Amino acid sequence: MMGKVSVLAVCIASLLCLPLLAQDALDLEGALALYQDDHIALEFSEAGKLQLEELIDVLRAELGVTDDLNEGNEDRVMEFAVAPESKHLASKLSQAYYTLANLYLDEPEDEQVYIKGKHWGMKSLRMNPEFSRIESEQGFVEAVEQENDVAALYWTNSNWLRQAQKHPLMAVTVWNIPPKVKAIMERCLEIAPDYIAGGPYRQAGGYYAGLPIGQDLDLALTYFCHINVEPVCDTCEELDVSQRVAGADLYLENRTFIAEFYYMETEMWAEAKAVLESVLAEEVTDVYPLMNAYAQENARQLLATVEEKL
């Protein structure tokens, strides 16, 4: 949903040195230590990209993936044997692929990485025998409705939505993706709305704001308002938001999403400017270091567009 941003600019400006960026080769224990409270804790820099790629290599090796496995082919990944106790690693690989593509790669390279990430998320879902049984007997949506593995659901969807975004007509007319991704979003909102600082709300808001046909900005706003607080989200005052995600204001992408996918879409340029400036005013700390540094660089680019409109 958003373009790539300059890693070099962040590398030059950043004074943040995380102890996790050690130079020693990663083992599985070190790789898993990079996942803190379900997010990946790295610098947004070239060094961070290299360590993310190393993280992916470690996860692939632990899963037993060889270079001849075509991870871009769903059938091949589904047929690939993975030990039941490694299910969580498949989800983490899905997350790592999404993070690499979203933060660091440009078209067309990013699409193949999103596809790999979607396949590993789907692999994790189908490693649940009950999910596979229900999917086989009743269908994918019905299987999703009983699934409780939020990581497998969320990262499957994150990658899948990016793929669909690149081919909207195919996604609707050939792949029939909308009912499947909507089922996943609704299940995530039901079982873990606070995952990744309100990620299911971000995902749903971005989905309805970005639909090429049937865009519903009012509905998108109702999701965004669960993850934005005053004075960032003055527009939410009249909405019935019964529960806001605790600590969502610490995750800066929550603000860039409402700026880009609501205020900019509705040409509320002054409101967008205020939100983006609030993102840039924050200090990037060891709380969501990777995503917050990325969100700030993205905010700079969005702000340049907004200021042209004022």
CA–CA dist 268, 229 (Å, integer): 18
* Nearest residue to 1 via CA among 196, 257, 227: 257
Residue ranges with strand state E in the chain: 35-36, 39-40
Angle at which helix 109-126 crosses helix 129-137, to 10 degrees, equals 100
* Nearest residue to 55 via CA among 8, 96, 114: 96
**What is the structure's pLDDT at 174?**
84
**What is the structure's pLDDT at 241?**
59
CA distance to 100, 154, 248, 263, per residue, from 243 (Å):
32, 20, 12, 22
> Is the link from the previous residue into 84 a cis peptide, with omega within 30 of 0?
no
pLDDT tens across the length of the chain (310 residues): 334 655 544 443 443 434 444 457 899 999 999 999 899 999 999 999 999 999 999 999 999 999 999 999 999 999 999 999 999 999 999 999 999 999 999 988 999 999 999 999 999 999 999 999 999 999 999 999 999 999 999 999 999 999 998 988 888 888 889 999 999 999 999 999 999 999 999 999 999 998 888 899 989 998 998 998 765 565 566 555 567 898 999 999 999 999 999 999 999 999 999 999 999 999 999 999 999 999 999 999 999 999 999 9
**What is the structure's pLDDT at 112?**
97
